[in-house]
């Protein structure tokens, strides 16, 4: 029987005296017929691919088809080498890793959709940056990714994780909630704190639209990965301090779904509204079309 | 409600930038390759709707070609696929048809077989038409596909062969152009059957095409 709500997940954790990641393993094991070690190995495969994407993205300056994007990560790497950021090393790594991954994605590099390709930088940047800076071993990173996975899965049982269905709140927003949960798990938080972190992250991105310029996964998608990765840290830190979401997460997920339904189709991955219809976006569209015709 | 895997949220490992426009395109190509099975020297793609209008920036053209050539969704070589094609000619056409899914394609091999499919989101795909016959193959099951002259008893003959292998049928679907005309049948299986089974089905009277389609990874 699938877990369809966070209250059910919390109850199950309490009854069986298990962590969220253990329940995630259990559920996946029942579904796939694989033992938990095999599932952990598959998660490790994802984790290693995420690390590869960060490594590749950190050194590349190759531009994407639009000619607009692809060199922002390098700006961070160079600047932070010369000047420490206000928030320190973890912040520097998270923002750089998020951009590295998202830029790899747009130049057709190898990434892990988590939950989608457009939001692929958020979960990895938080897990990898914090693991490096806090010396968190690999098996705990896997526990973090398993925790992120079940958080995303429960949301996806209620609302399809696609910008075309519910806007960016269902892509980068859900990724941020997943990352927040992973982070609290890795830092030793309990079940309630993990779920609260996800709730706080999700609650504060409700209404985020999907309005990509020229229909490309570039503007505003790439930089949004860095913003929502840091957003996840805020949620995790608050949750670890004992701050609770007054609205329970299941009701937030319902709200996300309804907000997605209320959102105009013009703002749901059609590029017919929002940033995609700005003067500058329309000019770029013309340039791209002329390039497209030439090829 | 069908239970979803954890890995529907933290996978696939793929080349970017879009799960529907890139990974979905590769998987459509792979599935078409699994169905056609033969070597080919010419492949033609007709891209519809959003595949046609925004496919360029998402590498949909590269993804489709890489798929029919057998590359997987995470192969970094997809990016430069045009430089790596040997002995196969390929072409693209672009069309609009609002009766079709926003991300839709026709793939034609050697002017012999046309396979149509949609990229339905998050890298998931559906093949819905082969040479004009409606099918519904999403790559999650090993599937036996056959075409034959429509006549009574064909379903039981085929299912009897499969049952003797102790293989469970997950779903079965038939279509035909007219009574007694050309018919198609696809049988989704819980475990794959061997080429010996395919051969037995091929030898059934009035069957003129059969293929064993492996599920996608």
* Mean of the per-residue pLDDT values of chain B: 92
The reply to whether B117 and B151 lie within a common domain is no
pLDDT over 60 at B144, yes or no: yes
Residue B2 banded pLDDT, cuts 50, 70, 90 = low
The reply to whether B109 and B150 lie within a common domain is no
Is A114 within 8 Å of B10 (Cβ atoms)?
Answer: yes
pLDDT at residue number A295: 46
Is B90 within 8 Å of B47 (Cβ atoms)?
Answer: no
Judge whether B7 lies within some domain: no
Q: Is the dihedral of CA A247, A251, A257, A263 positive or negative?
A: negative
Judge whether B121 lies within some domain: yes
* Cβ contact A164–B121 (<8 Å): yes
pLDDT over 80 at A65, yes or no: no
Nearest CA-CA distance, residue A98 and chain B, Å: 15
The reply to whether B23 and B51 lie within a common domain is yes
Picking from B97, B131, B165, the residue at the C-terminal end of a domain is B131
Number of H helices, E strands in chain A: 13, 1
pLDDT over 70 at B191, yes or no: yes
Interface of A with B in 63-122 (CB under 8 A): 64-66, 104-118, 120
The reply to whether B160 and B107 lie within a common domain is no
Q: Is A138 on the interface with B (CB under 8 A)?
A: no
Average pLDDT (A60-76) is 90
pLDDT at residue number B78: 96
* Cβ contact A49–B79 (<8 Å): no
Judge whether B103 lies within some domain: yes
Following DSSP, what letter does each residue of A34-101 receive, concatenated? --HHHHHHHHHHHHHHHHHHHHHHHH-----TTSS-S-HHHHHHHHHHHS--TT-HHHHHHHHHHHHH
Nearest CA-CA distance, residue B171 and chain A, Å: 19
* Mean of the per-residue pLDDT values of chain A: 95
Average pLDDT (A195-207) is 98
Judge whether B44 lies within some domain: yes
Which residues does B72 contact at the CB level (< 8 Å), separation at least 6? B26, B30, B217
Q: Is B56 on the interface with A (CB under 8 A)?
A: yes
Picking from B111, B131, B151, the residue at the C-terminal end of a domain is B131
Judge whether B1 lies within some domain: no
Peptide bond into A248 cis (omega under 30): no
A interface test, pick of B2, B4, B6, B102 with most A CB neighbours within 10 Å: B6
* Cβ contact B5–A28 (<8 Å): yes
Q: Which of B9, B13, B54 sits opposite A152 (nearest CB)?
A: B9
**pLDDT tens digits, one per residue of B85-141:** 989 999 999 998 989 988 899 999 999 999 999 998 778 899 999 988 888 898 989
Collapse the DSSP code of A175 into the 3-class scheme (helix H, G, I; strand E, B; otherwise coil) and give the result. Answer: helix
The count of other CB atoms within 10 Å of the CB of residue A196 is: 26
CA gap A104, A112 in Å, rounded: 11
pLDDT over 70 at A197, yes or no: yes
Residue in B closest to A64 by C-alpha: B57
Q: Is B98 on the interface with A (CB under 8 A)?
A: no
The helix (run of H) or strand (run of E) holding residue B146 is strand B142-149
Is A20 within 8 Å of A194 (Cβ atoms)?
Answer: yes
Decide which of A241 and B11 is more confident.
A241
Which residues does A279 contact at the CB level (< 8 Å), separation at least 6? none
* Cβ contact A288–B3 (<8 Å): no
Residue in B closest to A291 by C-alpha: B56
In this structure, what are the phi and psi dihedrals at residue B33, rounded to the nearest 5 degrees?
Answer: -60, -45
Comparing CA positions, the residue from A116, A194, A113 lying closest to residue A148 is: A194
pLDDT over 80 at B174, yes or no: yes
Comparing CA positions, the residue from B71, B217, B97, B211 lying closest to residue B144 is: B211
Nearest CA-CA distance, residue A178 and chain B, Å: 10
Nearest CA-CA distance, residue A141 and chain B, Å: 13
Task: Count interface pairs A-B at CB distance under 8 A.
Answer: 137
Question: Which range is least confidently modeled, A199-203, A260-264, B122-126?
Answer: B122-126
pLDDT over 70 at A292, yes or no: no
DSSP β-bridge partners for residue A185: none
- Strand ranges (E), A179-293: none
pLDDT at residue number B201: 95
**pLDDT tens digits, one per residue of A224-240:** 999 999 999 999 999 99
What is the number of domains present in chain B? Answer: 2
pLDDT at residue number B121: 78
Q: Is A206 on the interface with B (CB under 8 A)?
A: no
pLDDT over 60 at A294, yes or no: no
Sequence-separated contacts (24+) of A7-14 with Cβ below 8 Å: A7/A248, A7/A250, A9/A150, A9/A154, A9/A195, A10/A191, A10/A192, A10/A195, A13/A191, A14/A191
Q: Where are the domains of chain A?
A: 19-294
Range of the domain at B187: 142-213
* Contact residues on chain A for B76, CB-CB shorter than 8 A: 108-110
Q: Is B149 exposed, middle or buried (0-12, 13-18, 19+ CB in 10 A)?
A: middle
The reply to whether B84 and B166 lie within a common domain is no
CA A255 vs CA A117, A154, A197: distances in Å: 24, 14, 17
* Contact residues on chain B for A160, CB-CB shorter than 8 A: 121-122
* Contact residues on chain A for B54, CB-CB shorter than 8 A: 214-216, 271
* Cβ contact B57–A149 (<8 Å): no
Comparing CA positions, the residue from A234, A261, A243 lying closest to residue A90 is: A234
pLDDT over 50 at A242, yes or no: yes
* Cβ contact B16–A66 (<8 Å): no
Question: Which range is least confidently modeled, A83-87, B92-96, B167-171, B213-217?
Answer: B213-217
The reply to whether B77 and B22 lie within a common domain is yes
Judge whether B90 lies within some domain: yes
Judge whether B5 lies within some domain: no
Picking from B110, B131, B152, the residue at the C-terminal end of a domain is B131
pLDDT at residue number A116: 93
**CATH code for the domain in which residue B155 is found:** 3.30.70.260
The reply to whether B68 and B166 lie within a common domain is no
Average pLDDT (A135-147) is 98
* Contact residues on chain B for A214, CB-CB shorter than 8 A: 54, 57
CA A145 vs CA A160, A188, A198, B116, B209: distances in Å: 20, 14, 13, 36, 46
- The ipTM of this complex is 0.94
pLDDT over 60 at A13, yes or no: yes
The reply to whether B168 and B205 lie within a common domain is yes
CA gap A10, B159 in Å, rounded: 45
Q: Is the dihedral of CA A143, A147, A152, A156 positive or negative?
A: positive
Average pLDDT (A16-36) is 96
Question: Which range is least confidently modeled, B4-13, B73-82, B118-127?
Answer: B118-127
Record: fold of A19-294: 2-methylcitrate dehydratase PrpD (1.10.4100)
Does pTM top 0.80 for this prediction? yes
Average pLDDT (B42-68) is 91
Q: Is A152 on the interface with B (CB under 8 A)?
A: yes
B interface test, pick of A212, A215, A284, A291 with most B CB neighbours within 10 Å: A215
* Contact residues on chain B for A288, CB-CB shorter than 8 A: 56-57
Collapse the DSSP code of B118 into the 3-class scheme (helix H, G, I; strand E, B; otherwise coil) and give the result. Answer: strand
The reply to whether B34 and B99 lie within a common domain is yes
pLDDT over 70 at B26, yes or no: yes
pLDDT over 60 at B1, yes or no: no
Judge whether B174 lies within some domain: yes
The count of other CB atoms within 10 Å of the CB of residue A286 is: 10
The count of other CB atoms within 10 Å of the CB of residue A41 is: 12
Q: Is A32 on the interface with B (CB under 8 A)?
A: yes
pLDDT over 90 at A121, yes or no: yes
**CATH code for the domain in which residue B120 is found:** 3.30.1330.90
């Amino acid at each position: 029987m699938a877990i369809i709500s966070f209250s059910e997940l919390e109850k199950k954790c309490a009854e069986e005296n298990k962590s969220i990641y253990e329940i995630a393993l259990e559920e996946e094991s029942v579904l796939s017929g694989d033992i938990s070690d095999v599932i952990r190995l598959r998660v490790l495969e994802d984790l290693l691919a995420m690390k590869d994407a960060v490594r590749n993205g950190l050194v590349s300056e190759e531009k994407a088809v639009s000619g607009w994007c692809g060199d922002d990560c390098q700006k961070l790497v160079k600047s932070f080498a010369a000047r420490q950021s206000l928030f320190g090393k973890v912040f520097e790594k998270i923002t750089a890793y998020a951009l590295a991954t998202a830029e790899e994605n747009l130049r057709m590099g190898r990434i892990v959709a988590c939950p989608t390709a457009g939001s692929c930088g958020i979960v990895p940047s938080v897990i990898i940056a914090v693991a490096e800076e806090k010396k968190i071993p690999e098996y705990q990173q896997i526990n973090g990714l398993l925790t992120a996975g079940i958080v995303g899965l429960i949301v996806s049982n209620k609302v399809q994780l696609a910008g075309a269905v519910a806007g960016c709140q269902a892509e980068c927003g859900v990724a941020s909630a997943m990352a927040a949960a992973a982070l609290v798990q890795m830092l030793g938080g309990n079940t309630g704190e993990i779920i609260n972190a996800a709730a706080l992250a999700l609650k504060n991105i409700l209404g985020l639209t999907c309005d990509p310029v020229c229909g490309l996964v570039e503007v505003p998608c790439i930089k949004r990965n860095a913003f929502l990765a840091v957003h996840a840290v805020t949620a995790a830190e608050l949750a670890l301090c004992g701050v609770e979401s007054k609205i329970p997460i299941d009701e937030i997920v319902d709200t996300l779904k309804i907000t997605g339904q209320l959102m105009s189709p013009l703002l749901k991955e059609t590029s017919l509204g929002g940033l995609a219809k700005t003067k500058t976006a329309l000019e770029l569209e013309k340039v791209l079309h002329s390039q497209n015709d030439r090829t | 409600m069908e239970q979803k895997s954890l890995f529907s949220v933290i996978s696939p490992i793929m080349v970017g930038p879009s799960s529907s426009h890139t990974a979905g395109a590769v998987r459509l190509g792979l599935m078409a390759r699994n169905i056609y099975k033969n070597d080919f020297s010419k492949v033609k793609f007709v891209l519809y709707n959003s595949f046609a209008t925004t496919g360029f920036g998402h590498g949909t053209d590269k993804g489709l070609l890489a798929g029919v050539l057998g590359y997987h969704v995470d192969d970094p070589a997809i990016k430069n696929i045009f430089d790596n094609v040997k002995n196969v000619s390929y072409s693209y056409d672009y069309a609009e048809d609002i009766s079709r899914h926003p991300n839709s394609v026709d793939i034609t091999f050697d002017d012999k077989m046309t396979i149509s499919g949609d990229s339905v989101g998050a890298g998931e795909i559906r093949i819905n038409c082969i040479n004009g016959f409606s099918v519904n193959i999403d790559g999650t099951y090993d599937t036996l596909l056959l075409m034959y002259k429509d006549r009574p008893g064909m379903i039981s003959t085929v299912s009897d062969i499969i049952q003797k292998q102790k293989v469970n049928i997950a779903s079965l679907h038939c279509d035909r152009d007219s009574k007694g005309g050309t018919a198609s049948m696809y049988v989704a299986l819980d475990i794959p059957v061997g080429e010996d089974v395919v051969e037995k089905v091929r030898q059934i009277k009035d069957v003129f095409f059969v293929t064993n389609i492996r599920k996608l990874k």
